[in-house]
Amino acid sequence: MNNKELVEAFLEFKDEKNIDKATILAILKDVISHALRKRNGIVKKKRDGSEPDEDNFDVIINPDRGDLDIWIYRKVVPDDKYPINEYQEIHLSDAQKIDPDVEVGDEIDEEFQLVNLGRRAIIALKQNLENRLMEYDYINLHRFFKEREGELYTAEVHHVRPNAVYLIDDEGNELVLPRDRQIPSDRFRKGDSVKGVIEKVDMKGNKPVVILSRTDNRFLEKLFEQEIPEVFDGLITVKKIARIPGEKAKVAVDTYDDRIDPVGACVGVRGSRIHGIVRELGNENIDVINYTDNDKLFIQRALGPVKIQRMEFGINEEGKKTAYVYMKPDEISKAIGKRGQNIRLATDITGYEIEIQREQDEEDVELTEFSDEIDDWIIKEFNKIGLDTAKSVLAQDVDDLVRRTDLEEETILEVMRILKEEFEQ
């Protein structure tokens, strides 16, 4: 089997790996050169630390023919010299069979056939080529996904594991959606189409591991671009995002065109545009607000439709910039929100620590004043949802308090009876 036939056998990888012939020939040249150096005993560094011998061969690529030539150069030595390095030296009598005019000290070249490496060396060469092509694939795969970090990507569920979902894209590439990058309500089965953003590309050994995420803020931003033409075209800009994945999100949007209502354009008529995004996010509640550089106004918008009496700015004990927001007791629970989600997101999106302060009603009474009649643990239950005065509790609906606290209806009714008696007196 000559060089051309062997090269054609090696090139069988080309189509399945989708690599152009020029590239695979260049890799093959490097692999063959390595095999010839190993055959000749040439190493990167000799044991004594000196530089290795120079290559005594040329591997020449013929891209037009799709093969390569190998030429070996050996020094002509006298016939009585023993031993010789048969890979680098040749006796005069043997050299003259190739070129009758050659003399001792000359260098003679001859074409080398890969088959002369021996069967085991050729098998090793083929395995080395496979490994190099795999490395080439991994490098290209890493570059492909690295350039797409933060982009929206869709792949199909291949198999589901407790800690992650493994997906395959149209090109057969594997992506990983870890459990902590899934929305809590996500439930996937084999064959499902899954959408997310490419969060990052890790390396496991030499193999790239592509991490997909559905909790990353960029996922929500890319969904806005996909569903809302004005965002895709750049007429509306998503300035800031704060999320509790699967629960609630706040998105601040802005526009340079005064004729456009950015919030209205994002939400759509009767929520038509935002609905698709909410559905994709497992019914995540999304508040879209107008962005502004006015911190006071931005905090007001971030907190939502609550009545703020006044606002002061300062630095808290931890050295963080803080907004002290004063409001009537019956507004506090709305500002804090369910499980504190509203104020947490408002803090995230504005960059201010927001501390809600009660604007005291002169006729109101703090719940702690009733500690003789109401147990402390009951008062703490009301405090958890932002209710710390008598009037703030009396302003609430009983059924709503049952739902938002761990208190029984009878307990709540008894507390309200005690509070009402205070004001009746």
Nearest to 250 by CA among 369, 346, 326: 346
Nearest to 122 by CA among 35, 50, 188: 35
d(CA 318, CA 138): 46
Domain boundaries, position 379: 367-424
pLDDT band for position 339 (cuts 50, 70, 90):
confident
Domain co-membership, 236 together with 308: no
Domain co-membership, 31 together with 108: yes
Q: For residue 8, which amino acid is it?
A: E
CATH number of domain containing 353: 3.30.300.20
Domain co-membership, 209 together with 220: no
Three-state SS across 183-224? CCCCCCCCCCEEEEEEEEEEEECCEEEEEEECCCHHHHHHHH
**Residue range 381-390, pLDDT digits in tens:** 888 887 888 8
The last residue of one of the domains, among 332, 359, 386, is 359
Whether residue 357 is predicted with pLDDT greater than 80 in this model: the reply is yes
Domain co-membership, 119 together with 58: yes
Whether residue 44 is predicted with pLDDT greater than 60 in this model: the reply is no
Give, rounded to a whole angstrom, the gap between the first and last alpha carbons of the chain.
111
Domain co-membership, 136 together with 162: no
Domain co-membership, 186 together with 241: no
The pLDDT score that the predictor gives to residue 168 is 96
Percent residues over pLDDT 90 in the chain: 47
Domain co-membership, 39 together with 114: yes
Domain co-membership, 354 together with 405: no
Q: For residue 274, which amino acid is it?
A: I
**Residue range 185-225, pLDDT digits in tens:** 999 999 999 999 999 998 888 889 999 999 999 999 999 99
pLDDT band for position 342 (cuts 50, 70, 90):
very high
* Residue pointed to by tokens 């591991």: 209
When mean pLDDT is compared across 152-166, 300-314, 352-366, the lowest value belongs to 352-366
pLDDT band for position 12 (cuts 50, 70, 90):
low
**Residue range 137-170, pLDDT digits in tens:** 888 899 999 999 999 999 999 999 999 999 999 9
User: What's the rounded mean pLDDT across residues 109-137?
Assistant: 84
CATH number of domain containing 390: 1.10.150
When mean pLDDT is compared across 219-228, 260-269, 309-318, the lowest value belongs to 309-318
Domain co-membership, 19 together with 106: yes
- What is the count of structural domains for the chain? 5
Q: Which residues of 43-78 are buried (b: 16+ CB within 10 A; e: fewer)?
A: eeeeeeeeeeeeebbebebeeeebbbebebbbbbbe
Mean per-residue pLDDT of the chain: 87
CATH number of domain containing 9: 3.30.1480
Nearest to 164 by CA among 145, 151, 182: 182
The pLDDT score that the predictor gives to residue 255 is 95
Domain co-membership, 27 together with 126: yes
Domain co-membership, 169 together with 132: no
